[in-house]
Chain A
C-alpha cells in the first residue's frame, strides 16, 4: 500500500504519522509538500496530519485548504482514494468541504491533551472494519478546536447514513456530557463521507499504535484501512 502524508508549514504530527505508516505498518510512505501541484505517484491513502497548519490563522484549516496540493488531494478523493484527516487534518477537510460541518473552539476554551474513550459507531467503513460496533478504544486527543458543529439537517443525515464512526464516551461506553472533551454535537469524534472513503477524526490514532505509548488501539484504524485495501 502506498501512503502520502501532506506536510504544511506548521504540521507537527507528520513524523508520527510517518513512523506508524512506515515502521509500524510497513507501508511505502512519502511526505508530500503542500506547495507541490502534483503527486509524484499514485497513492492509495493520503493522510492529512495534525498540527497547526499556517499557525491556525483565521480559522483552523482555513488557509491550508487552499494550498497547491489540495486540488490533487481532492481529485484523489473524488476517484475513491482513501483520505484520512487527523485533528488539524480533520479541520482542513471540513474547511475544504470534503466533509460536512465545521469546528468551533472547545466549549471550555481550553486546549485538551489527554486520552479519551471512543465508542465505535459504525464498524463497516474502510477505517473501522477491524473494530466492532460498540467497541471502546482508548486514543489521545490534543486540540483547542474540536467542538464539532453542523446544522440539524446535516447531523440527521450523518446519523441516517451511519457516517458517524466514533463518539466520545465514558469508560462504560455511555455518551455523556462529562465524557465530551470539547462540546462536540452528539459527542462526535470522527465521521466519514457518504461514500466512506474520506474520514476525519479529532483523536490521534497515530499516537496510540504501540504498547510502549500506553495504547495500540489506534493501530486498528490503520489495520482497517489495510484490510479494506486488500479486499479491493
Chain B
C-alpha cells in the first residue's frame, strides 16, 4: 500500500524563532495588531510504501527522529493517509 505523510517541523516553544519574530513584526507593520506570536516551520510530504498504516507511522517517526527534525531545537507532528 502507498501512504502519504504530511510532516510538520517547528522550532520548540523554548527556542527563539528569529524568522517568526520577523514575520510577526511585518504583520504588525501591515496593521495586524492582533498578532501575538508567529512560528515559522517546515512542511514536508513523504510518499512511502508500507504494509499497513502502523508500519508507515513507525517509519515516518524514525525518519523524523533521524533526519527530518533535529530534536535539540525542533519538534514534529505528522498526518498519514493511504493514497492507493
Task: Tell me the A residues contacting B by CB distance below 8 Å.
Answer: 58-59, 62-63, 66, 94-95, 101-102, 104-109, 147, 149-151, 183
List the B side residues contacting A66 at CB < 8 Å.
67
List the A side residues contacting B67 at CB < 8 Å.
58, 62-63, 66
Task: Tell me the B residues contacting A by CB distance below 8 Å.
Answer: 11, 14-16, 18-19, 22, 42, 67-68, 70, 72-73
User: Is B15's CB under 8 angstroms from A104's CB?
Assistant: yes
User: Is B15's CB under 8 angstroms from A58's CB?
Assistant: no
User: Is B73's CB under 8 angstroms from A109's CB?
Assistant: no
| CB contact under 8 A between A106 and B72, given known A62-B67, A66-B67 | no
Q: Which residue of A lies closest to B18 (CB)?
A: A107
26 pairs, CB–CB < 8 Å, chain A vs chain B: A58-B67, A58-B68, A59-B70, A62-B67, A62-B70, A63-B67, A66-B67, A95-B70, A102-B70, A102-B72, A104-B11, A104-B15, A104-B16, A104-B18, A105-B19, A106-B18, A107-B16, A108-B18, A109-B19, A109-B22, A147-B18, A149-B15, A149-B72, A149-B73, A150-B72, A151-B72
Distance of A128 Cα from B16 Cα, bound (Å):
31
Distance of A37 Cα from B12 Cα, bound (Å):
35
User: Is A109's CB under 8 angstroms from B18's CB?
Assistant: yes
User: Is B18's CB under 8 angstroms from A101's CB?
Assistant: no
Distance of A183 Cα from B17 Cα, bound (Å):
11
Distance of A101 Cα from B15 Cα, bound (Å):
12
> 6 closest Cβ contacts across the A-B interface?
A102-B72, A102-B73, A107-B18, A105-B18, A102-B70, A109-B18
User: Is B22's CB under 8 angstroms from A104's CB?
Assistant: no
CB distance from A192 to the nearest CB of B (A): 18
CB distance from B57 to the nearest CB of A (A): 21
List the A side residues contacting B14 at CB < 8 Å.
151
Q: Which residue of A lies closest to B44 (CB)?
A: A58
Distance of A220 Cα from B54 Cα, bound (Å):
55
Q: Which residue of A lies closest to B66 (CB)?
A: A66
Which residue among B11, B19, B22, B73 has the maximum number of chain A CB atoms within 10 Å of its CB? B73
Q: Which residue of B lies closest to A95 (CB)?
A: B70
Which residue among B14, B16, B67, B72 has the maximum number of chain A CB atoms within 10 Å of its CB? B72
CB distance from A8 to the nearest CB of B (A): 16
Distance of A109 Cα from B73 Cα, bound (Å):
17
Distance of A62 Cα from B67 Cα, bound (Å):
7
CB distance from A190 to the nearest CB of B (A): 18
